[in-house]
Amino acid sequence: MESPFFLLTILLFLTSSAAAAATSKPGASHDLVRSSCVHASYPTLCFRTLSSYSGAASTPRDLAQAAVKVSLSRASKVSTYLTTSVTGKSKRERVALGDCVEQMSDSMDELSKTLRELKHLRDETFEFQMSNAQTWVSAALTNEDTCLDGFEGVDGKVKSDVKRKITNVAKVTSNALYMINRLNESRG
Ligand SMILES: *[C@@H]1O[C@H](CO)[C@@H](O)[C@H](O)[C@H]1NC(C)=O
């Protein structure tokens, strides 16, 4: 007669393999996020922002799209912040904020164009499309840098708030550019 202990061991074994099987799919794309982020410019931020997409992102193309979406959504949030924080500011600060709103708007246009391009990739035009994507995301990064430059000579809380937020957008944008390059290489 088998001991109850033996049966319990079998039962535990079966339960844990079932649990492993159930989690293996998200685990696989989690691995893709991890291995893709490891050499990004900002690996921790990359992993943190993209692992929430890991259910949907299972290819380099999904990841590149997800990275551009993250960048777009952060740029949009910062843009709202910039627009609403103009009141009660000095002339100098209002000018810098106004310029920055324009640059973020350009940045968002470029990121939207990139996302559209990544959603309509075709074999025959892949290289051309990837080159467009790279150009636009680089331009988005440049706009973010230009926004920061506008605050040179502005002191205090406005500058430090804007700087922190824009720097964060620039980091996720830089990661998006990296994912686009990876997508381009993954094809070769
Ligand atoms: C994409 O990869 C190809 C082949 O490796 C390379 O020639 C091309 O310059 C790359 N394009 C971009 C936009 O990085």
pLDDT higher than threshold 70 for residue 17 = no
What mean pLDDT is predicted for residues 61-81?
A: 96
**pLDDT greater than 60 at residue 12:** no
Burial 4-31 (b: 16+ CB within 10 A, else e): eeeeeeeeeeeeeeeeeeeeeeeeebbe
Mean pLDDT of the chain: 85
pLDDT class of 22 with cuts at 50, 70, 90: very low
Top-confidence range, 22-36, 51-65, 89-103? 89-103
Q: Which pLDDT score is estimated for 53?
A: 76
List domains and CATH numbers for the chain: 59-187 (1.20.140.40)
Question: Is the beta carbon of 131 within 6 A of some atom in ligand 1?
Answer: yes
Q: What is the pLDDT of residue 24?
A: 41
Range in 32-36, 136-140, 150-154 the model is least confident about: 150-154
What is the average per-residue pLDDT within 85-100?
88
Does residue 124 sit in helix, strand or coil? helix
CA distances from 35 to 29, 30, 50, 63 (A): 10, 9, 12, 11
Q: How remote is the C-alpha of 105 from its chain's centroid?
A: 17
Length of the chain: 188
Residue 20, pLDDT > 70, answer no
Residue nearest (by alpha carbon) to ligand 1 atom 11 = 131
Give the least confident one: 12-21, 69-78, 132-141, 156-165: 12-21
If you average pLDDT over residues 72-81, what whole number do you get?
96
**If you measure from the C-alpha of residue 113 to the centroid of ligand 1, how many angstroms do you get, rounded to a whole number?**
19
Helices 43-50 and 4-37, axial angle in degrees (round to 10): 120
59 lines ligand 1 (CB under 6 A): no
Å from CA of 187 to ligand 1 middle: 10
Predicted confidence at residue 147, as pLDDT, reads 92
For residues 53-81, average pLDDT: 90
Q: What is the mean pLDDT of residues 91-101?
A: 91
Q: Is the pLDDT of residue 16 over 60?
A: no
In ligand 1, the atom with minimum distance to the C-alpha of 181 is 14
* pLDDT score of 56: 65
Tally: H helices and E strands in the chain: 6, 0
Predicted model pTM: 0.83
User: Could you write out the DSSP letters of every residue in 73-101?
Assistant: HHHHHHHHHHHHT-TT--HHHHHHHHHHH
pLDDT of amino acid 27? 54
- Tell whether the torsion through CA atoms of 165, 168, 174 and 178 is positive or negative: negative
